[in-house]
Structure 1
Amino acid sequence: MRKNLFVFVLGFSLLTAFSCKKEEAEIKGCRDTEAENYNAAANADGECVYARDKFVGTYAGTLTCPGALNLISGQTNFNIDEDITGGKNDVTVLISTTTGLVVPVTGTCTGNKLTIDAVLKNLTITLVGSPVLVDITAKGEVTLTDKLLTGSLSLVAKGVQLPLELSDTCPISATKQ
């Protein structure tokens, strides 16, 4: 009887020792909900990929304003960088045309879309050979497909010292370099 009790206690002890909850398997992945590769099941940090990552770079193309702002149309470079003062999907876009327009705007990336909504105060632009102080409102959306950036930008330039208001919707087409 003692032998049976001993075997029973030994078996029960072994069963208890080996049936404890096992350690959870490590699942590496991005644990940041703002990232495109967020993994809710991840329990160990992995590399995160943000929507802005695919946009960062230099693009060469055109900004074509068909109306009142036609004078700024032409070959254009779009330099897109991370916006260090914004969120993880925010960027700064420096728009530089061969006509001399240089406009720094901010935007937010979601998926393959970049949305621009910026107001720039006291910018100097050249109109008919003379510098003019303006406030510029820039709004628009562009889409990145492979290396091609397409969309449009609505621009409104209001004179600060002169009663001037020019507006236009300008298609954008540029290729990542």
Structure 2
Amino acid sequence: MKSTKFSLILLLAFFAAIFSITSCGDDDAEVKGCTDEQSENYNASANTDDGSCVYARDKFIGDFVGSFDCPGALAGVIKSDSSYTFTILEDVDTEAGPNDIVVKFAVKLELIPNAVPVELKGTVSGNVLTIDNYSYTIAGFIPATFDATIVYNDANDTISGDIALMSDAYGNDVCSMNAKKQ
């Protein structure tokens, strides 16, 4: 009888040990991946960030060369027959989100020999860059407000869209831009 009780206790201890070994470990397994919910490749299962996050803005970052045409009120002010370089950078403002960017380009004016820098801030969602009611003073004396929707084309690495420029001094115009990534 003693050996039966001992065998029964030993058997229960054995099953308890096996049960505890098989139930541990899986819950704490490391899963590497992108842990930022604002990225395009967020992995909800990941518990360790591996630096692989990709943001919508990434495809826009770089230099694009192309045209900037203002056919309306600004036709005599902005040169449309020139080649333009649009430099798009990550917005490093401390309050900027991961898809906020800065669009820099130099507007070529008819009356000023040197190109005048313009710096606009926007946000990217998917393949669309939006600049919403952004105020900027061109050349230090032309206050203007900009609205834009610029689309990135994956097939040929181009951007195109319309930039609405509103200026009390020179009028309003909708300028079109088309450019290829360099």
Output the TM-score relative to the length of structure 2: 0.82
Equivalent of 2:143 in 125, 135, 138: 135
Which residue is 1:51 aligned to? 56
Which residue is 1:7 aligned to? 7
Structure 2: gaps of 5 or more residues: 110-114
Which residue is 2:112 aligned to? none
Output the TM-score relative to the length of structure 1: 0.84
C-alpha displacement at 1:137, in angstroms? 0.6
C-alpha displacement at 1:42, in angstroms? 1.1
Q: Which has the higher strand share?
A: 1
Note the 1:68-79 alignment, pairs <5 A: 68-70=73-75, 71-72=77-78, 73=80, 74-79=82-87
Aligned-pair identity (%): 37
Write the distance in 2 (CA, Å) between the matches of 1:17 and 1:143. 61
Equivalent of 2:91 in 64, 73, 83: 83
Matched, 1:105 2:120: yes
For residues 94-138 of structure 1, give each alpha carbon's deviation from its aligned partner in whole angstroms, at most 9, with x where no partner exists. Answer: 0224442421000111111111121114x327xxxxxxx121111
Runs of 4+ residues over 4 Å off in structure 1? none
Note the 1:21-170 alignment, pairs <5 A: 21-23=23-25, 24=27, 25-47=29-51, 48-70=53-75, 71-72=77-78, 73=80, 74-85=82-93, 86-99=96-109, 100-117=115-132, 118-121=134-137, 123-124=138-139, 133-146=141-154, 147-158=157-168, 164-170=169-175
Structure 1: gaps of 5 or more residues: 126-132, 159-163
Pairs aligned (count): 164
Q: What value does the CA root-mean-square deviation take over the aligned residues? A: 1.7
SS at 1:19 equivalent = helix
> Which residue identity is paired with 1:107?
G
